[in-house]
Amino acid sequence: MLFSERYGYKKVTQVLQVEELNYETKVGLWNVLTKFYWDKADKDKYWDSSPEMSDLISSLWCDYFKLPIDEIEDLFWDNVHKIIKNFYFSEEAHWYEVYDFIEFIGNCKAFSLYLRSFKKECNKVLERERTAYRFIGNHITSIVNDNEIKEVETALNNNKLKHVSTHLDNALELLSDRKNPDYRNSIKESISAVEGVARLISGNKKAELRPALKELEEKLGVEVHGALREGFIKIYGYTSDGDGIRHALTDSSTVNFEDAKFMLVTCSAFVNYLVSKAQQAEIDLS
């Protein structure tokens, strides 16, 4: 990762590509388009040399670009391909317009046999490049919302909890590494951030989550709702008990981006929650 990503100088929205689309992602999606559509055209013939390609390009021209269809009637496929490629890679094409384009093609009836595989391959690229969007059904949909981003950034930017923030920063780095993501260790770092706050609250360097919550409730008079408390203890147990993720190191295939993202967001939110409760109890966490 770049220096700015490793040390937190890029926002979470940039690391996870929330409102942007980098060149590598655009290329990846273009390669999927090429595999499923452009390579099906006859490069030495007109753009409408096959019924499927004729349907696809006609639909693009009339319904997406909203251009006169007679402007391409006498063009060979290579000419049409260049027009589409120049649009796709132009600096004027905003990130959301690229998603519009991909989604439009994913809903065209042309080459219908390929649609499911096309969307699956697009999702592989979107996951590999750590974007905040996926094909879900017929639509490209956000998998990260503003509230989730806010929780992570609030926890990351808490200068009084540098050790805790370091764990979350590591979790984000491991999650968002586009070349070699490490979801398992990202989850470990996320839960380690919760442990860090728990130890600060309890004053016990070896304390885990339950004793820290008990400290808040019994000694300091800070109430944590029973269902909420047990819910977080169970999530904590998912990573920490004998069958948890810290011990089952060999079964990495069961952990994916969605798992690691959920844990990062959830642990960030819980860190912020515990910090807020500790402040109510006038506990010094610095």
CA distance 169 to 186: 9
pLDDT at position 11 is: 60
Is the distance from CB of 186 to CB of 174 less than 8 angstroms? Answer: yes
Closest CA to 55 of 6, 95, 115, 99: 115
More confident residue, 282 or 23: 23
**Beta pairing, strands 139-142 & 133-136:** antiparallel
What mean pLDDT is predicted for residues 5-26? 72
Can you read off the two tokens belonging to residue 262? 């959920």
pLDDT at position 83 is: 92
pLDDT at position 19 is: 80
By CB atoms closer than 10 A (0-12, 13-18, 19+), residue 155 is buried
What mean pLDDT is predicted for residues 276-284? 80
CA distance 51 to 29: 24
CA distance 131 to 102: 14
Is the distance from CB of 275 to CB of 202 less than 8 angstroms? Answer: no
Tell me the pLDDT tens digit for each residue of 100-150: 999 999 998 888 888 899 999 999 999 888 888 899 888 898 777 778 888
Tell me the pLDDT tens digit for each residue of 31-77: 999 999 999 887 778 887 788 888 999 999 999 999 998 888 788 88
CA dihedral for 49, 51, 55, 58, sign (positive or negative): positive
pLDDT at position 250 is: 44
pLDDT at position 242 is: 40
Can you read off the two tokens belonging to residue 123? 């999702």
pLDDT at position 230 is: 81
Is the distance from CB of 151 to CB of 262 less than 8 angstroms? Answer: no
pLDDT at position 126 is: 93
Is the distance from CB of 48 to CB of 58 less than 8 angstroms? Answer: yes
- Report residue 2's pLDDT band, with 50, 70 and 90 as the boundaries: low
pLDDT at position 23 is: 92
- Classified as helix, coil or strand, 139 is strand
Tell me the pLDDT tens digit for each residue of 220-268: 676 777 787 788 778 777 665 544 455 444 455 578 888 888 888 889 9
- Tracing tokens 């950034």 back to the chain, one arrives at 153
pTM of the model: 0.65
What mean pLDDT is predicted for residues 73-92? 90
φ/ψ of 136, rounded to 5, equals: -125, 110
What mean pLDDT is predicted for residues 186-203? 86
Alpha helices in the chain (DSSP H): 3-6, 12-15, 23-36, 51-59, 77-89, 95-105, 115-128, 146-156, 162-176, 183-202, 209-214, 226-240, 257-280
Can you read off the two tokens belonging to residue 61? 């021209």
Closest CA to 246 of 160, 201, 177, 188: 188
pLDDT at position 121 is: 96
pLDDT at position 71 is: 83
φ/ψ of 246, rounded to 5, equals: -75, -20
- Tracing tokens 């820290």 back to the chain, one arrives at 212
pLDDT at position 261 is: 87
